[in-house]
């Protein structure tokens, strides 16, 4: 008689000798379920796979309701674009550094009896300073001709017996010396030169300019904070409505053993997509605004013989804006889920 093969989880039969010398079948004791350990790499792969699947499904859910999603994205985009536009405007004002440097330059008046070679040596010595960018020499004859041209007193000036104007060195401070303290220090050191009769700089204008820039930065930060709160509230309210619409689904998931982290994850990705989508739309709105204003600004700059052009955020700042908007969306979703998800529990 042939031996039977065990199949599946069936008991294994062995032949045991009987009392008469023949053999009989005896069922072996069935083995229990074996315990296995899951490797850490398998857990990480499962965790990453669930995250990627949840992210794609959350984005697909938003795209299935394009009108509702677009309205939320527009709200986020407007809230993000307003402080970003003010930041861009402030950055463009700061890029007018050449005009500011001309207004904050130090006018060094040389002694009347200074020799030309001594003036040239003083110019070279000042140009070698690390806090000086350029030094321009204005000769007395050139200064007098410019004064005649712009003052309208040509006949009076022609009646003068001698040129009363001295040699002037226009000292342009370096970029790190544009502060009020740096200009005062530079002015004091220039006046200590033996050939220098006087050094003048419009410190009041520089101080007013710096205060305006500080005020603009604080306004940008305050507006950004207020609108960030608006983004949190808008996305939080949207996520709250999504939680209420999926209440039955959440109850079923919790009944079968789903954890709060498992239930929370799709809503967090939804808030992330809302934030990043709003950030991308904000970049589009800002690009349209820059395109609309670039023509008049360029024409106005040409009238003043300036090569100034409007500058946008750039690739790095744009990426930071999108990531920051996505972080706000994720945070708003997390706050809404933490508040409303605990109230949904199976009975």
Give dist(CA 216, CA 270) in Å, integer.
Answer: 34
Report the range of poorest mean pLDDT among 2-11, 52-61, 280-289: 2-11
Greater model confidence, 53 or 283:
283
| Mean pLDDT along residues 197-211 | 73
Question: Mean pLDDT of all residues in the chain?
Answer: 78
Query: Which residue's structure tokens are 């605990």?
Result: 342
pLDDT band for 8, please (50, 70, 90 cuts): very low
- 213 within 8 A of 227, measured Cβ to Cβ: no
Residue 33: burial class (beta carbons within 10 Å; 0-12, 13-18, 19+) = exposed
Give dist(CA 312, CA 290) in Å, integer.
Answer: 7
> For the segment 111-148, what is each residue's pLDDT rounded down to a tens digit?
887 888 888 888 888 888 888 888 888 887 777 777 66
Residue-level pLDDT at 70:
92
pLDDT over 80 (residue 21): no
Give dist(CA 140, CA 137) in Å, integer.
Answer: 10
Angle of CA points 316, 320, 325, to nearest 5°? 150
Residue 197 backbone dihedrals phi, psi, to 5 degrees: -85, -40
> For the segment 295-343, what is each residue's pLDDT rounded down to a tens digit?
888 888 787 767 778 888 889 999 999 999 999 999 999 988 888 877 7
Query: Which residue's structure tokens are 């609108």?
Result: 227
Of all residues in the chain, what percent carry a pLDDT higher than 90? 14
Structural domains for the chain: 58-97+209-343 (no CATH), 105-201 (3.30.70.3040)
Tokens of 30: 């069935």
> For the segment 37-68, what is each residue's pLDDT rounded down to a tens digit?
667 777 777 777 778 888 888 889 889 988 98
Residue-level pLDDT at 5:
46
3-state SS track over the chain: CCCCCCCCCCCCEEEEECCCCCEEEEECCCCCCCCCCCCHHHHHHHHHHHHHHHHHHHHHHHHCCHHHHHHHHHHHHHHHHHHHHHHHHHHHHHCCHHHHHHHCCEEEEECCCCCHHHHHHHHHHHHCCCCEEEEEEECHHHHHHHHHHHHCCHHHHHCCCCCCCCCEEEEEECHHHCCHHHHHHHHHHHHCCCCEEEEECCHHHHHHHHHHHHHHHHHHHHHHHHHHHHHHHHHHHHHHHHHHHCHHHHHHHHHCCCCHHHHHHHHHHHHHHHHHHHHHHHHHHHHHHHHHHHHHHHHHHHHCCCCCCCCCCHHHHHHHHHHHHHHHHHHHHHHHHHHHHHHCCCC
Long-range contacts at 41-48 (CB < 8 A, ≥ 24 apart): none
What's the pTM value of the predicted model, to 2 decimals?
0.63
- 167 within 8 A of 110, measured Cβ to Cβ: yes
CA 198, 204, 205, 211: dihedral to nearest 10 degrees? 140
Greater model confidence, 34 or 84:
84
C-alpha distances out from residue 118 to 121, 122, 143, 196, Å: 5, 6, 19, 11
């Amino acid at each position: 008689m042939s031996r039977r093969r065990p199949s599946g989880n069936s008991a294994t039969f062995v032949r045991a000798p009987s009392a008469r010398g023949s053999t009989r079948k005896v069922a072996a004791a069935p083995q229990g379920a074996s315990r296995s350990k899951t490797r850490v790499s398998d857990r990480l792969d499962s965790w990453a796979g669930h995250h990627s699947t949840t992210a794609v499904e959350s984005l697909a859910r938003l795209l299935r309701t394009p009108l509702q999603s677009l309205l939320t994205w527009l709200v986020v985009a407007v809230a993000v674009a307003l402080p970003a536009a003010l930041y861009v405007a402030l950055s463009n004002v700061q890029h007018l550094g050449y005009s500011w440097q001309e207004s904050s330059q130090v006018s060094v008046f040389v002694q009347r009896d200074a020799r030309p070679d001594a003036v040239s040596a003083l110019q070279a010595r000042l140009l070698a300073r690390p806090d000086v960018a350029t030094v321009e020499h204005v000769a007395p004859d050139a200064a007098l001709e410019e004064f005649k041209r712009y003052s309208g007193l040509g006949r009076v000036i022609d009646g003068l017996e001698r040129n009363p104007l001295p040699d002037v060195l226009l000292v342009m401070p370096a970029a790190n010396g544009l502060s009020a303290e740096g200009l005062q220090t530079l002015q004091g050191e220039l006046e200590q030169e033996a050939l220098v009769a006087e050094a003048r700089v419009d410190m009041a204008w520089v101080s007013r300019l710096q205060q305006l820039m500080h005020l603009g930065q604080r306004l940008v930060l305050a507006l950004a904070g207020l609108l960030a709160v608006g983004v949190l509230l808008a996305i939080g309210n949207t996520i709250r409505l999504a939680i209420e619409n999926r209440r039955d689904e959440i109850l079923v998931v919790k009944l079968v053993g789903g954890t709060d982290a498992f239930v929370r994850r799709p809503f967090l990705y939804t808030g992330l997509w809302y934030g990043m989508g709003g950030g991308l739309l904000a970049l589009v709105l800002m690009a349209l605004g820059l395109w609309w204003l670039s023509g008049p600004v360029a024409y106005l700059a040409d009238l003043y013989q300036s090569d100034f052009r409007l500058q946008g955020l750039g690739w790095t700042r744009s990426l930071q804006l999108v990531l920051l908007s996505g972080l706000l969306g994720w945070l708003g979703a997390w706050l809404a889920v933490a508040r409303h998800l605990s109230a949904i529990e199976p009975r």
